[in-house]
Amino acid sequence: MVTVLERHSELRQRAWDAAASVVDPEIPVLTIADLGVLRDVVLDGDHVEVAITPTYSGCPAMNMIALEIEVALERAGFCRPKVRTVLSPAWTTDWMSEEGRRKLHAYGIAPPQASNSRRALFGEQAVACPQCSSADTELLSEFGSTSCKALWRCKTCREPFDYFKCH
Amino acid sequence: MPVANIQVSETPLVLYALRRADDALILGHRLSEWCGHAPMLEEDMALSNIALDLLGQARELYSYAAKVEGKDNDEDRFAYLRDVRQYRNLLLVEQPNGDFAQTLVRQFFYSAFADLYWRAMMTSRDAALAAIAAKSEKESAYHLRHASEWIIRLGDGTDESHARAQAAIDHLWAFTGEMFAVDEGERALIHADIAIDPGSLRGRWLTTLSGVISEATLELPQTGWMQQGGRSGRHSEHLGHLLSELQSMQRTFPGQTW
């Protein structure tokens, strides 16, 4: 009995690790575990089902991520893995790991701020420049290179940068 | 492979989901028409990103409608194989892009409504609808902020941008009444705490509008007459033209996939 349970948890961990290694195709320094997109890995016998949650309704990366998970699991020895999309609870940037925020910053993208202030419709946001850390920055566009990012500019080093929006 | 229009079992719940899905798809398609044509690169990306959000919302709602209906239909068949009269979107969202002011006023009227609507729908007794709403409301908050800032910039800008923004408001105002209308089937869903009564949101919608419009030094029209028809499939001529483009590939090569 004990060995069966041990084998089960060991297999599940292997499946989780394989799924967790998949990276976001648009921000390749972040894994789906860093992003909080990977929600659950269920092992039933030798069959694996992975639950992921979309960041944005129309995020075009989701299809790609689902495919990559299947490939990663098959490579790890799991037959016909399934990927399920769950909408609830809705993804939030609060689920991004500390490690993820650190990697994002090192990559040159300002990480989402911890407190979620989107309800303050015209509220002041202060985003520090990921290049020179200056707080003297300005918003250029509410929507940047992807829906999850806004375009900002640093007034100190004059570099434009992406800001991963709170969600 | 089917070329003809699909049959849809229009139960109140299927219809309810299709109406919201159609709003999102048609408005998303309109916004995508700006791709490569917006006045500047940042705005081109903003409009395309908003279009993408709306397309995502439409997909969730179509898939939900297909599940409720329990037939062979799916998100693609709903989008590509229904004729104009089978579309149930608001007349507002099918109106042509016009100039930039018209596009942004249309977006502002809709987003101010959608933001309230999705937030209210998060409490629906239908778990799937509540989940779709929870996802969508976060997106609509950004859409509303984007449109609001443009309305203020256009209204409180030059004489030209002010005049165009006011003309757009006057032109599109008659299409806003339909957002708050419900039919009998929908009324029953509202009583069952599945659907949201849009009428209960009208006051707050007007408050949102008034704040932005007055900061933009613009004015809301006082006229009461409102155009309706989209929810029951009676559309302006513009939707047919839009669908002929949106559906051209599937109508020409039925069942074709990438």
The angle at the Cα of A88, spanning A113 to B26, to the nearest 5 degrees, equals 90
SS3 B257: coil
pLDDT of residue A13: 93
User: What confidence tens digit (pLDDT) does each residue in B78-101 have?
Assistant: 999 999 999 999 999 999 999 999
- Closest Cα in chain B to A89: B131
pLDDT of residue A153: 94
Query: How far lies A76's CA from each of A49, A72, A98, B19, B87, in Å?
Result: 14, 6, 27, 44, 46
Sketch the domain layout of chain B as residue ranges: 12-219+228-252
Cα B62 to chain center, whole Å? Answer: 14
What's the rounded Cα separation, in Å, for the pair B107 and B120?
Answer: 20
Report chain A residues whose CB lies below 8 A from the CB of B130. 88
Of the partner residues B57, B138, B149, the one whose CB lies closest to the CB of residue A90: B138
Cα B83 to chain center, whole Å? Answer: 18
What's the rounded Cα separation, in Å, for the pair B52 and A25?
Answer: 17
Task: Answer whether A165's CB lies under 8 Å from A143's CB.
Answer: no
Kindly report the nearest CA distance between residue A146 and chain B, in angstroms.
Answer: 7
In which residue ranges of chain A is pLDDT below 50? 119-122
- Closest Cα in chain B to A85: B60
pLDDT of residue A114: 63
What's the rounded Cα separation, in Å, for the pair B190 and B124?
Answer: 9
SS3 B229: coil
Beta-bridge partner residues of A47: A44
**Contact status of A151 with chain B (Cβ, < 8 Å):** yes
Instruction: Please state the pTM of the whole predicted model.
Output: 0.90
> Does the distance separating the beta carbons of A145 and B131 come in below 8 Å?
no
pLDDT of residue A142: 84
pLDDT of residue A145: 81
**Complex ipTM, two decimals?**
0.79
What's the rounded Cα separation, in Å, for the pair B204 and B211?
Answer: 11
Phi, psi of B124 (to 5 degrees): -55, 145
Would you mind telling me the total number of residues written for chain B in this entry?
A: 258
Question: In which band, very low, low, confident or very high, does the pLDDT at B3 lie, cut at 50, 70 and 90?
Answer: low
Neighbouring C-alpha atoms within 13 Å toward the C-beta of B167: 11
> Does the distance separating the beta carbons of B59 and A58 come in below 8 Å?
yes
Span B12-219+228-252: which CATH code?
1.20.1260.10
Mutate to test the interface with A, among B29, B67, B135, B143 (most CBs of A within 10 A): B135
> Does the distance separating the beta carbons of B42 and A140 come in below 8 Å?
yes
pLDDT of residue A2: 63
What's the rounded Cα separation, in Å, for the pair B78 and B83?
Answer: 10
Question: In which band, very low, low, confident or very high, does the pLDDT at B63 lie, cut at 50, 70 and 90?
Answer: very high
Task: Answer whether A153's CB lies under 8 Å from A138's CB.
Answer: yes
Of the partner residues A57, A89, A147, the one whose CB lies closest to the CB of residue B57: A57
Q: Residue B247: pLDDT above 90?
A: yes
What's the rounded Cα separation, in Å, for the pair A161 and B91?
Answer: 39
DSSP letters spanning A42-66: EEETTEEEEEE--SSTT-THHHHHH
> Does the distance separating the beta carbons of A54 and B54 come in below 8 Å?
no
What's the rounded Cα separation, in Å, for the pair B100 and A118?
Answer: 25
Neighbouring C-alpha atoms within 13 Å toward the C-beta of B43: 13
Kindly report the nearest CA distance between residue A98 and chain B, in angstroms.
Answer: 22
> Does the distance separating the beta carbons of B130 and A57 come in below 8 Å?
no
Mean pLDDT of chain B: 95
pLDDT of residue A120: 43
pLDDT of residue B126: 97
What's the rounded Cα separation, in Å, for the pair A94 and B76?
Answer: 33
What's the rounded Cα separation, in Å, for the pair B254 and B250?
Answer: 5
Cα B230 to chain center, whole Å? Answer: 11
